[in-house]
Amino acid sequence: MMHAARVQRRTRWAAALAAGTIAVTALAAGGTASAASMSASTADDDATSFRWTTGDPVISPQPDATHDSVAVKDPTVVKVGKRYHVFFTTTPGEGKGWHIAHKSFERWSDADAAPITYLDTTAIGPGYRAAPQVFYFAPQKTWYLIYQDGNAAYSTTQDIDDPTSWSAPKHFYDGMPQIVQDNIGNGFWLDFWNICDDETCYLFSTDDNGHHYRSETSVQDFPHGYTNTVIAKEDPNRFSMFEGDAVYKLEGTDRYLMMIEAFGPDGARMYKAWTADGLDAVGDEWEPLAVTGDDPFARTAFTTFTTQRWTDDFSHGELLRSGRSQELTVDPCQPLQFLFQGYDPAAPSGPGYGDKPYQLGLATADGPNPISAMCADG
């Protein structure tokens, strides 16, 4: 007999599938959930691959009188009450710096027109700031915004509704850990990502050289005391496990999901994914979930565009979470949604990476997949 909790989770997934008829229609109209083109049939626990559906970009560059902006990148998103809060990198062009900006809105259809706050106008200040992650650290009743500034930086606020209230940057590390120095090669130390379980917080990072690092401290000591930096996962091909890492707790299960950006067989960006029983997993303890170009976690070759195709890349982004706390939960009983970056390779652009006209898209998992199959776990 199936446990009652499993029945409840399976029922929730079936209900989400049934809502699929409004999916991308709902996204275009500002809806908050739902997979497009999904069958209303019951979930297939044997689903072995991921498919996505997306429409037009939801957030585009929005320059103002004092800020040039040719791209928006590296989004992080949290929902508080009825409002989404999205933080992202904005670039004024190659060699002109990287900054962080914020938007808040209730419906995704309103995201592009929502007011933008450039956080260099706050105590975070000007200078290189990029690749943010936002979460609420419940033990301190404090919001944290983590980002890179050459080190692993963070700012805090008590009021996420006031984007001007973020504190000046502080750092998790005194400097680059020795293990990173020994392995980074010609890469860059970047894309810091924090997640906690009941007792320990883990700070992950990548190096554009095939290494995924992890440091740890106690929940009690957070944000101080990060040490014991190890290589959690590595690949001899730097482009096979490159950057844009994120780690989540799969709600209602004993599993964690790790996803990392890589280059696909066509040279475009894509995502791979692994799962493990604990955040302290290393090496093969992170089990492959979708790790090849033919079986990716997310790739435009496996994505349906309901409007004109506007990107070849499924690049640096974040899954929409089911909670807002430091545990970073994602509900496998709801269709996954992925806020990601991409750009039109045919659009006018300068020669540098910072010139690429990145925009943010919102994709929804289309049909059963290896994550939705975990809805029956627990």
Query: How confident is the prediction for the chain on average, in pLDDT?
Result: 90
Which one, of 374, 367, 376, 361, lies nearest residue 27 by Cα?
361
259 bridge partner residues: 246, 273
Tokens at residue 154, please?
A: 């963070």
Q: pLDDT > 90: what percent of the chain? A: 83
| Least confident span in 112-126, 132-146, 346-360 | 346-360
Statement: residue 175 has pLDDT above 50: yes
Cα Rg of the chain (Å, integer) = 19
State which residues form the domain around 294. Answer: 4-376
* DSSP-assigned letters across all residues of 284-327: GGSEEEEBSSSSBSB-GGGEEESS----S--EEEEEPPS--BTT
At 8-59, the pLDDT tens digits run 444 454 454 444 433 343 343 344 333 333 332 333 444 789 999 999 999 9
pLDDT above 50: residue 89: yes
* Stated length of the chain: 378
Q: How far apart are CA 336 and CA 136, in angstroms?
A: 21
* pLDDT score of 15: 52
pLDDT tens figures, 201-250: 999 999 999 999 999 999 999 999 999 999 999 999 999 999 999 999 99
Mean pLDDT (whole number) for 256-268: 97
Tokens of 359: 């925009």
Tokens of 101: 């900006």
What is the mean pLDDT of the segment spanning 281-306?
A: 98
The confidence score (pLDDT) of residue 48 equals 86
- pTM of the predicted model over 0.85: yes
- The residue written with tokens 């067989």 in the block is 265
Q: Residue 60: pLDDT above 90?
A: yes
- Check pLDDT > 80 for residue 289: yes
Cis peptide bond N-terminal to 163, omega within 30: no
Judged against a pLDDT cut of 80, whether residue 75 lies above it is answered with yes
- CATH number where 168 lies: 2.115.10.20
**pLDDT above 60 for 342:** yes
Average pLDDT (87-93) is 94
User: What values do phi and psi take at 26, rounded to 5?
Assistant: -65, -40
Per-residue pLDDT for 378 more than 70? no
Cβ-based neighbours of 182, under 8 Å, separated by 6 or more: none
Give the C-alpha distances (Å, rounded to integers) separating 35 from 8, 51, 77, 341, 372.
20, 10, 19, 19, 12
If you average pLDDT over residues 309-321, what whole number do you get?
98
Number of structural domains the chain divides into: 1
Report the distance separating Cα 299 and Cα 268, nearest Å.
8
Q: What is the pLDDT of residue 78?
A: 98
Sign of CA dihedral 323, 325, 330, 335: positive
* pLDDT confidence of residue 93: 86
At residue 171, the pLDDT reads 98
Judged against a pLDDT cut of 70, whether residue 363 lies above it is answered with yes
